[in-house]
């Protein structure tokens, strides 16, 4: 007589990968359904959401894994950069692309924010690597502020900004 194994009454829980895949398929289906219902207007105006969703996929992949191997924080860089670009392009679609002449330093700021996300969420060791990463964030952030000042007409203010930045670095 063979013994029967007890039937588990608990429903099977999907793995993290299955959960992420399922959510992404639902989001993609919603976007494609809206595109069919709203037509070309939706695709022309809201295509940057594809970049934002792509960035969120990288974040989900990073935070879904509990055992993060060395270098795994590299997933945060493209995730953050895609989100920044998606937001920038969405603003351009809403406000008008002529503002890109003023907002192009956002590309530099996006790199700074991407490195900063690696600093914030990445491993705390080795300390030297973290300090180097933070130094890069500071330099790129300052550069983007200077570039914003130049583009918005602060052509006369940017030498003053360089003096202040130099003093901050020295002190």
Task: Please state the pTM of the whole predicted model.
Answer: 0.73
What would the mean pLDDT of 110-135 be, rounded to a whole number? 88
Distance separating alpha carbons of residues 27 and 12, to the nearest angstrom: 23
Q: Is the pLDDT of residue 6 over 70?
A: no
**What are the residue boundaries of the structural domains of the chain, listed by start?**
15-46, 50-170
Distance separating alpha carbons of residues 170 and 41, to the nearest angstrom: 52
DSSP string, 87-147: HHHHHHHHH-GGGHHHHTTHHHHHHHHHHHHHHHHS-S--HHHHHHHHHHHHHHHHHHHHH
Q: Is the pLDDT of residue 12 over 80?
A: no
Q: Is the pLDDT of residue 164 over 70?
A: yes
* Percent of the chain whose predicted confidence (pLDDT) is above 70: 89
52-103 tens-digit pLDDT: 989 998 888 888 877 777 778 888 999 999 999 999 999 999 888 999 989 9
Q: Is the pLDDT of residue 47 over 70?
A: yes
Q: Is the pLDDT of residue 108 over 60?
A: yes
pLDDT-derived band of residue 26, with 50, 70 and 90 as boundaries?
confident
- 88 by Cβ neighbours in 10 Å (0-12 / 13-18 / 19+) ranks as buried
Question: Is the Cβ–Cβ distance between 86 and 48 less than 8 Å?
Answer: yes
Q: Is the pLDDT of residue 112 over 90?
A: yes
7 vs 164, which has greater pLDDT?
Answer: 164
**Token pair of 73, please?**
């924080």
């Amino acid at each position: 007589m063979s013994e029967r194994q007890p039937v588990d009454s608990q429903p099977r829980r999907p793995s993290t990968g299955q959960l992420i895949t399922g959510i992404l398929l639902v989001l993609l289906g919603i976007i494609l359904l809206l595109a069919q219902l709203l037509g070309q207007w939706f695709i022309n105006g809201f295509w940057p959401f594809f970049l934002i969703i792509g960035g969120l996929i990288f974040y989900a992949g990073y935070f879904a894994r509990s055992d993060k191997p060395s270098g795994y924080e590299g997933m945060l860089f493209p995730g953050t950069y895609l989100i920044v670009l998606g937001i920038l392009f969405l603003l351009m679609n809403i406000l008008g692309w002529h503002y890109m002449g003023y907002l192009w330093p956002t590309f530099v700021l996006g790199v700074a924010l991407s490195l900063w996300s690696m600093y914030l969420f990445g491993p705390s060791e080795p300390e030297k690597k973290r300090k180097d990463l933070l130094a890069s964030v500071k330099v790129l952030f300052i550069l983007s502020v200077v570039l914003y000042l130049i583009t918005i007409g602060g052509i006369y203010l940017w030498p003053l900004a360089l003096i202040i930045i130099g003093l901050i670095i020295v002190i």
